[in-house]
């Protein structure tokens, strides 16, 4: 029950919130992050999302310190014990993670000396604000590196370090809308959900374009939809690696179709390169993302391929576009061209450190190793009779969705419909993949109750040639 | 010059980006964060914001490590030297900071053991996602604490930990718009710039309401504007502490006017409590922010009064509203009701730790100390003949803008028009304020070239009674 919190009356206040620490059972659940209520229920092999519930049972309550806390140290001891257990759990969860494109292998010990500072790059990276505890000099170094990667001159680009891939997409699409206020947003239906969120937030007309089995945008459908909406400019989200299948949209063909369909000088392209924006430059035969082509913005995540303890990303656009969204904020002695106001100043330090240490050569090696390991995984899965697909330019292996929620949770697999995926990141070794496949094969035989395994058909998701159901296995 | 970055051709790549480390002069500017180009120029005592410039001269370039880096360790040494200098600078800048409402006094050493983990609370705090390296159990503990503070039952609220105050405002206003799609946004002209950014992003009609000299919303103007737009529902941003003057809008009067003007059941109120949302409950006579009143959402920043190395915030709303903005995202096995996708999982840990250690009693003591120190500062300024204002419920002291950019930069004062302010946070001691005032008085006599000081008139900004210009000093 929520009591009456009386302003400035600490007696009543403390009665209401409860002075007594919760009993040990309450603060020490068997395993810290195991929630007592599952997040979804099994429903025909598909996880159902239950909306509107509040799960408080396994959270760590905040308790009011005792008056004599400084003497007893109870609160400190309680927190230390919770944190120690939580840390052990993080170690374990980090070890068994395969489903999200996060590189969990990083080493930023040299930066721990900076943790005690409230570093905030509020406002524009290129205009000094009055707040002095910032890391703009590192941020601009990182931005310069990315602008060079995507071939935009220092004096021709603008960008900033974002909080995540979503912020990059929100920013890129917002620029597109400000440049073409009546533009229609086109995005393949396998685009990241933040793209459709942007359309809704910004009240933009949005056209969903079909995809090929690979997950790439279906360019014939794209062209048809362009022609249907020819009177309005086009704002196009191009996926440089889709979320689920790691598919890369054909940027050159998208541009060609726009120009051929009468959209010349009436289109804006945002490239969502959350994961692949940093892998593609190092993949042979990959189509090139570059500002020498008529694109408007590119975004990439920092916590994905690079690896970073906090989510972050990089957004680069043309300086000529940025005035479309910016406005002066005298309070900051800066301009307001970013989505967020206060911005995490530690993120640029992580990126600056990682880029300096690894360099282009380091990333190249890691990309190559990831692609090889992904091929290895796909081979192992197919050899075990499990349908699986791997796009040529990708390290995302898509396969038959495991029917065991416990297994999915243990390996933290991202699932959609009948399929799941593993994203091979630099921290995913071949040894780990072997353990994973062996365990998958073992639990799979349990699902079939020891009888013959009848693989489900996933041809619609991964193509006939990658499906191992009885029908497609025999070449039909 | 940006060269041709050839895909997968490391030789050309390295030529382009330059293998050679920059000379020592370039990487070691005299003082690290001093930019060679100033951010604005003096223009009639008012700083001019220069748009569209890219400042790269003092940034720290990222250089490609040498092939034999592991042997020589040059790169590590270079980075260590940059970071050590940067750290010294942060210490100095942290010491001389007065202008932004950031509490720079915190101690999170116990959490440094968690820095090596990529903690990400992607998606909804209350619905477990498949990604296991999260801190939802801490996040929900923090949210419960705030819901209790603002009197909303556990099963009636929804909320999340945001990246900053701006994200809270963007979220609150978005809920308002989704609840009332044709609603008009009302906000006083002294509202935070993110409120007007939201209106533009969301394509909402926005009415700017006048303010009183104190910075509070002018309720008679508000009422007049409500009547002008009576046919459409009202979405109102109520400031619980404005950015510049720390003014608190009269929530009760705002509600009364809405109900009297025919808006009953046709309004949504978002309370922007970035700084004061956490101070108000501990201020005597302060109007109460509570969900027992018909408000829709409240946001507060975590890096302001609480103090935190990364910007963050808390957003709390009614669960009944949240379905208006949420949609299912199967990929996450979660729903998409937040603005950002990936969310910093370290921020909840900082907040959880600080709230546990300080508790209501701790905050109460700190609030009282800040208010006392702010009164002390205002008194010292007035005694020195400097016009200054302090709102009753606030620790933000507004005063005559110093005419010396160097002084403003040193103390990191936030300025607007003819005024500047100091926000007294828990890390701002009376001793520091004395040093500040003494220095201000000293440099002020220099501006007047040793002659008699003629204080500028700032009656329009702070009221006649707080102005020390020759006209108002003598009671006119």
The Cα B322–Cα A51 span in angstroms is 10
What's the CA gap between A329 and B341, in Å, rounded? Answer: 27
Residue B40 tokens read as 């604005």
CB atoms within 10 A of CB A457: 18
My answer on whether A424 and A444 are in the same domain is yes
| Encoded tokens for A368 | 């190559």
Q: Give residue for tokens 């942060």.
A: B90
* Spatial distance between the Cα atoms of A390 and A465, rounded to a whole number of angstroms: 12
Contact residues on chain B for A56, CB-CB shorter than 8 A: 140, 144, 154
Which of these, B416, B389, B407, lies nearest to B472 by C-alpha position? Answer: B389
Cross-chain CB nearest to A118 (options B58, B148, B303): B303
* The total number of residues written for chain B in this structure: 476
**Residue finishing a domain among B357, B391, B426:** B357
Residue window 135-164, chain A: list those with CB within 8 Å of chain B. 135-142, 144-145, 147-149, 151-155, 157-158, 163-164
Kindly report the backbone phi and psi dihedral angles of residue A164, in degrees, each rounded to the nearest multiple of 5, phi listed first.
180, 175
Question: What residues of A are labeled active site?
Answer: 394
Q: Which of A47, A75, A108 is opposite residue B356, by nearest beta carbon?
A: A75
B204 occurs within a structural domain: yes
Domain hosting residue B21, numbered range: 9-93
Q: What's the Cα-to-Cα distance from B106 to each of A397, B103, B111, B310, rounded to whole Å? A: 44, 8, 12, 12
Structural domain contains residue A147 = yes
Residues A303 and A372 in one domain: no
Residues A297 and A321 sit within 8 Å (Cβ to Cβ): yes
Q: Does B49 contact A335 at a Cβ distance shorter than 8 Å?
A: yes
CB contact under 8 A, B290 and A151: no
Q: Based on the domain organization, do B143 and B202 belong to the same domain?
A: yes
In the DSSP assignment, the letter for residue B48 is P
3-state helix, strand, coil in chain B (%, to 5): 40, 15, 45
- Are residues B373 and B429 located together in one domain of the fold? yes
For the record, the structure tokens of A459 come out as 């041809």
Interface test with B, best of A330, A355, A401, A412 (most B CBs within 10 A): A330
Compute the distance between CA of residue A250 and CA of residue A241 in angstroms, rounded to an integer.
11
Q: Which residues contact B267 (CB under 8 A, 6 or more apart)?
A: B180, B233, B234, B235, B236, B258, B294
Distance CA A431, CA A408 (A): 19
The answer on B201 and B243 residing in a single domain is yes
Cα dihedral: A286, A289, A295, A299 (round 10): 120
* Min Cα–Cα distance to chain B from A65, Å: 6
B321 and B372 both lie in a single domain: no
Binary contact (B90, A127; C-beta < 8 A)? no
Is the Cβ–Cβ distance between A90 and B119 less than 8 Å? yes
d(Cα B1, Cα A458) in Å, to the nearest integer?
A: 49
Using CB atoms, pick whichever of B138, B334, B412 lies closest to residue A132: B412
Residue A31 dihedral angles phi and psi, to the nearest 5°: -125, 130
Specify the residue for token string 């208006």: B324
- pLDDT of chain B, 476 residues: tens digit per residue: 333 333 333 333 333 333 333 333 333 333 333 223 333 333 333 434 444 444 666 899 998 888 877 777 888 899 999 999 999 999 999 999 999 999 999 999 999 999 999 999 998 999 878 899 999 999 999 999 999 999 999 999 999 999 999 999 999 999 999 999 999 999 999 999 999 999 999 999 999 999 999 999 999 999 999 999 999 999 999 999 999 999 999 999 999 999 999 999 999 999 999 989 999 998 878 889 999 999 999 999 999 999 999 999 999 999 999 877 776 666 555 577 899 999 999 999 999 999 999 999 999 999 999 999 999 999 999 999 999 999 998 999 999 999 999 999 999 999 999 999 999 999 999 999 999 999 999 999 888 776 677 888 999 999 999 999 988 876 55
Q: What is the pLDDT of residues A7-17, one digit of tens each?
A: 333 333 333 33
Instruction: Mark whether A245 and A372 lie in a shared domain.
Output: no
CA B425 vs CA A262, A366, B451: distances in Å: 58, 46, 35
Q: What distances in angstroms separate CA A228 from CA A177, A223, A231, A262, B383, one per listed residue?
A: 19, 9, 8, 12, 72
Helix (H) or strand (E) holding A17: helix A10-17
| Chain A partners within 8 Å of B151 (Cβ) | 2, 4-5
The single residue listed with the structure tokens 């008194």 is B379
Does residue B44 lie in a domain region?
A: yes
b/e map B80-103, b = 16+ CB within 10 Å? eebbebbbebbeebbebbbbbbbb
Tokens 């906090």 correspond to A310
Residue with tokens 């270079």: B78
What pLDDT is attached to residue B433? Answer: 98
Q: What is the CATH number of the domain that holds B411?
A: 3.90.1150.10
Which residues from B are below 8 Å from A123, CB to CB? none
In a domain, A131, yes or no: no
What is the rounded distance in angstroms from the CA atom of residue B381 to the CA atom of residue B468?
10
Q: Based on the domain organization, do A369 and A391 belong to the same domain?
A: yes
Digit-by-digit pLDDT tens for chain A (476 residues) are 333 333 333 333 333 333 333 333 333 333 333 223 333 333 333 434 444 445 666 899 998 888 877 777 888 899 999 999 999 999 999 999 999 999 999 999 999 999 999 999 998 999 878 899 999 999 999 999 999 999 999 999 999 999 999 999 999 999 999 999 999 999 999 999 999 999 999 999 999 999 999 999 999 999 999 999 999 999 999 999 999 999 999 999 999 999 999 999 999 999 999 989 999 998 878 889 999 999 999 999 999 999 999 999 999 999 999 877 776 666 555 577 899 999 999 999 999 999 999 999 999 999 999 999 999 999 999 999 999 999 998 999 999 999 999 999 999 999 999 999 999 999 999 999 999 999 999 999 888 776 677 888 999 999 999 999 988 876 55
Which entry of B135, B299, B301, B394 is annotated as an active-site residue? Answer: B394
Q: What does the DSSP assignment read for A171-208?
A: HHHHHHHHHSTTPEEEEETTS-HHHHHHHHHTT--EEE
Q: What does the alpha-carbon distance between residue B249 and residue B241 come to, in Å, rounded to a whole number?
A: 7
B28 touches chain A (CB under 8 A): no
Q: How buried is A366 (Cβ within 10 angstroms: 0-12 exposed, 13-18 middle, 19+ buried)? A: buried
Segment 34-93 of chain B within 8 Å of chain A by CB: 35, 38-40, 47, 49-56, 58-65, 67, 75-76, 78-80, 83, 86-87, 90, 93
Residues 6+ apart with CB under 8 A from B366: B305, B358, B426
Full DSSP string of B8-28: T-HHHHHHHH-SSPPPHHHH-
Same domain as B338, residue B395: no
Please tell me what DSSP assigns to residue B288: P
- Out of A96, A108, A126, whose CB is closest to B55? A126
Distances, alpha carbon A120 to alpha carbons A162, A336, B273, B298, B411, in Å: 12, 15, 19, 23, 16
Q: How far B454 CA lies from chain A's nearest CA (Å)?
A: 25
Give the pLDDT confidence score for residue B381 in this predicted structure.
97
Chain A contact for B251, CB < 8 A? no
Q: Tokens 């990929």: give the residue.
A: B331
Burial, B113: exposed, middle or buried (Cβ in 10 Å; 0-12, 13-18, 19+)?
A: middle
Report the alpha-carbon distance of residue A177 to residue A201 in Å, rounded: 12
Query: Are residues B181 and B314 located together in one domain of the fold?
Result: yes
Residue B184 belongs to a domain: yes
Q: Is residue A202 part of a domain?
A: yes
Determine phi and psi for A287, rounding to 5 degrees.
-60, 150
Q: Residue A330's pLDDT is what?
A: 63
Angle among Cα B297, B303, B309 to the nearest 5 degrees reads: 145
pLDDT at A475: 58
Q: How far is CA A463 from CA A387, A472, B87, in A?
A: 9, 10, 54
In 3D, which of A98, A97, A107, A91 has the Cα closest to residue A424? A98
Q: Are B358 and B365 in contact (CB under 8 A)?
A: no
If asked whether residues A170 and A273 sit together in one domain, one would say: yes
Q: Is residue A1 part of a domain?
A: no
Phi then psi for B240, rounded to 5 degrees? -100, 75
Last residue of a domain, one of B357, B373, B408: B357
**Contact call for B62 and A35, based on CB within 8 A:** no
* CA atoms of A62 and B168, how far apart (whole Å): 22
- Cα distances from B146 to residues B130, B149, B157, B246, in angstroms, run 26, 5, 10, 21
What pLDDT does residue A40 have? Answer: 34
Q: At what angle do helices B251-260 and B219-228 cross, to 10 degrees?
A: 30
Give ipTM to 2 decimals: 0.88
How many structural domains compose chain A? Answer: 3
**β pairing state of A396-400 and A388-390:** antiparallel
Do B424 and B372 meet the contact criterion of CB atoms below 8 Å apart? Answer: no
What's the pLDDT tens digit per position in A221-242?
999 999 999 999 999 999 999 9
Instruction: Based on the fold, state whether residues B327 and B442 are members of the same structural domain.
Output: no
Q: Does B451 reach chain A within 8 Å, measured CB to CB?
A: no
Residue indicated by tokens 């309550």: A61
3-state secondary structure at position A270 = strand
Could you say which of A302, A327, A357 is where a domain stops?
A: A357
Instruction: Indicate yes or no: CB of B130 within 8 angstroms of CB of A65.
Output: no
pLDDT at residue A27, rounded to an integer: 31
Closest CA to A340 of A168, A223, A455: A168
**Coil, strand or helix at B55:** coil
Q: Which positions in chain B touch A415 (Cβ < 8 Å)?
A: 130, 330-331, 333
Distance CA A408, CA A401 (A): 9
CB atoms B110 and A79 under 8 Å: yes
Residue B397 lies in a domain: yes
The CATH code of the domain that includes A293 is 3.40.640.10
Q: Decide: B295 and B251 in contact? Cβ < 8 Å.
A: yes
Q: What angle do CA A267, A269, A273 make, to 5 degrees?
A: 175
How close does chain A come to B288, measured CA to CA in Å? 7
Query: If we measure between CA atoms, which residue out of B4, B289, B337, B72 comes closest to residue A149?
Result: B4
Whether the model pTM is above 0.90 = no
């Amino acid at each position: 029950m929520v009591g009456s919190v009386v302003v400035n009356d600490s007696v009543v206040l403390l009665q209401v919130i409860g002075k007594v620490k919760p009993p040990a059972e309450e603060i020490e659940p068997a395993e810290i992050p195991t929630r007592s209520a599952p997040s979804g229920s099994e429903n025909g092999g598909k996880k159902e999302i239950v909306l509107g519930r509040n799960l408080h049972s396994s959270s760590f309550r905040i308790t009011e310190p005792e008056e004599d806390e400084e003497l007893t140290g109870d609160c400190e001891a309680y927190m230390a014990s919770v944190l120690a257990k939580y840390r052990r759990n993080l170690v374990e969860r980090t070890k068994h993670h395969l489903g999200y494109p996060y590189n969990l292998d990083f080493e930023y010990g040299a930066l721990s000396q900076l943790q005690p500072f409230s570093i905030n790059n509020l406002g524009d990276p290129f205009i000094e604000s009055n707040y002095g505890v910032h890391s703009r000099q590192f941020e601009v170094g990182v931005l310069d590196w990315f602008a060079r990667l995507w071939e935009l001159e220092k004096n021709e680009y603008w960008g900033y370090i974002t909080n995540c891939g979503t912020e990059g997409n929100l920013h890129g699409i917002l620029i597109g809308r400000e440049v073409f206020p009546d533009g229609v947003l086109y995005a393949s239906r396998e685009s990241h959900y933040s793209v459709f969120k942007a359309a809704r937030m910004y009240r933009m007309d949005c056209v969903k374009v079909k995809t090929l089995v690979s997950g790439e945008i279906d360019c014939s459908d794209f062209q048809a939809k362009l022609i249907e909406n020819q009177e309005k400019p086009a704002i196009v989200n191009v996926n440089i690696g889709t979320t689920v299948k790691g598919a890369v949209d054909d940027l050159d063909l998208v541009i060609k179709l726009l120009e051929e369909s009468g959209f010349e000088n009436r289109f804006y392209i945002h490239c969502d390169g959350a994961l692949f924006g940093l892998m593609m430059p190092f993949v042979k035969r990959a189509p090139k993302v570059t500002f020498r082509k008529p694109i408007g913005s590119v975004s990439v995540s920092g916590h994905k391929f690079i690896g970073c303890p906090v989510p972050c990303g990089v957004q680069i656009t043309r300086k000529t576009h940025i005035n479309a969204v910016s406005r002066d904020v005298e309070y900051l002695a800066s301009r307001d061209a970013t989505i967020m106001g206060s911005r995490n100043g530690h993120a640029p330090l992580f990126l600056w450190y990682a880029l300096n240490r690894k360099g282009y050569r380091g990333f190249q090696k890691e990309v190559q190793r990831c692609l090889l390991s992904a091929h290895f995984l796909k081979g192992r899965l197919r050899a075990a009779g499990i349908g699986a697909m791997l796009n040529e330019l990708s390290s995302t292996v898509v396969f038959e969705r495991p029917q065991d929620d416990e297994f999915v949770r243990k390996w933290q697999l991202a699932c959609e419909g009948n399929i799941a995926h593993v994203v091979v990141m630099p921290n995913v070794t071949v040894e780990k993949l072997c353990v994973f496949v062996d365990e998958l094969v073992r639990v799979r035989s349990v699902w079939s109750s020891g009888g013959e395994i009848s693989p489900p058909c996933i041809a619609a998701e991964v193509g006939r040639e990658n499906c191992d159901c009885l029908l497609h296995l025999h070449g039909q």
